[in-house]
Structure 1
Amino acid sequence: MANRRSDQEWLAIFQQYESSSLTQREFCRQNKISTSTFFAKRRLLQLSTENRHSGFIRAEVIEQSTHYQIAKPVAANMTLSFNDIELSIPQGTPAVYLAELIGALQS
């Protein structure tokens, strides 16, 4: 069974490596540590340390909730009748547009 180590144990191992004069491969061989595990765990802990100093924190969703927002009631359209033409225009249509439309209809 593989020897599981805590992050603290790994940090101690990396400190031992740093204080030794050995290459990573030689250090791993002497301490019976897989080099791939050594490299991967070292990188993972470096990323974790960088993330702690980046100002971001890990967030976890504890409870999911649903929020409902009541839509504003739809305003009724305005009806513009001119001769035999009837147009339905949404409320809030700019007055300038309506003036141009009425002017165009009179032509």
Structure 2
Amino acid sequence: MAQQRRSDQEWLAIFRQFENSSLTQREFCRRHDISTSTFFAKRRLLECGGGSQQSGFIRAEVVEQTTHYQVAKPIASNMTLSINDIELSIPQGTPASYVAELIGALSS
């Protein structure tokens, strides 16, 4: 069989052509002058994502936007925030931007 270097895209087109045929893999390879061992190996490689340009990225979507803060040191004491009739205890060391965001949300 003739040695021919094919791109991943060409292999994917060959696999689609095989899937649309009613031939066995061996018969398909024989008719298209493709080594069965190369066909099997390349198919397995591309199915596992090894080298396929199509498997590099997937579509991602932000479902919820959440802000998380972690305190690196143990907390010694809490701050108390009083707004109207609400009293809120906040760990000391909480980022000022979070406190400002919280005050803005409570005053709305």
**TM-score band w.r.t. shorter chain:** 0.3 to 0.5
Q: TM-score, normalised by structure 2?
A: 0.45
Specify the structure having the higher radius of gyration (Cα): 1
Which one has a larger percent helix, Structure 1 or Structure 2? 1
Q: TM-score, normalised by structure 1?
A: 0.45
